Amino acid sequence: MTDDFFDPRAAGGSLFDRGLANDAQAAAQTARSDVEFLRHEVDRLYLVTEALWRLLKDEHGYADASLAQLVAAIGAEHARERSDPEGRPQPPCEKCGRQMGRRQPKCMWCGAERILDVFGR
Ligand SMILES: [Zn+2]
């Protein structure tokens, strides 16, 4: 990714416009750095989780199916906790059928975008 596609100094406009462009460029750079840091942290968590799971399988005989079942159950619990104040369940993902949180714009399991119910309340 490069920052060179837009150079506010060459874009003309007022000093104010260029100041805004510079601010936007700095904010975008900060956001990219934050995303990069979070990707690194997610990668690290993924490695630690995988190592722990391998230990549990190798040392204690747990099976992948048990983990998948527990992950699904915990995901459903979290979705219930995030449901609206009246306790109405959230509709599951249209693509994979797993529970999605109320405010999740995308399914955390398959990445499918939430199909908004325009009449939903
Ligand atoms: Zn899904």
Distance 104 CA to ligand 1 centre (A): 11
What long-range pairs does 3-10 form, CB within 8 A, spacing at least 24?
Answer: 3/28, 3/29
Distance 3 CA to ligand 1 centre (A): 34
Distance 42 CA to ligand 1 centre (A): 20
Distance 28 CA to ligand 1 centre (A): 29
Model confidence pLDDT, tens digit, residues 73-82: 887 777 776 6
Mean pLDDT, rounded, of the chain: 83
DSSP conformation class of 12? -
Q: What is the pTM of this model?
A: 0.52
Distance 92 CA to ligand 1 centre (A): 8
d(CA 89, CA 81): 9
Model confidence pLDDT, tens digit, residues 93-116: 889 988 777 677 888 889 999 877
Distance 100 CA to ligand 1 centre (A): 8
Six-digit token string for 29: 């750079």
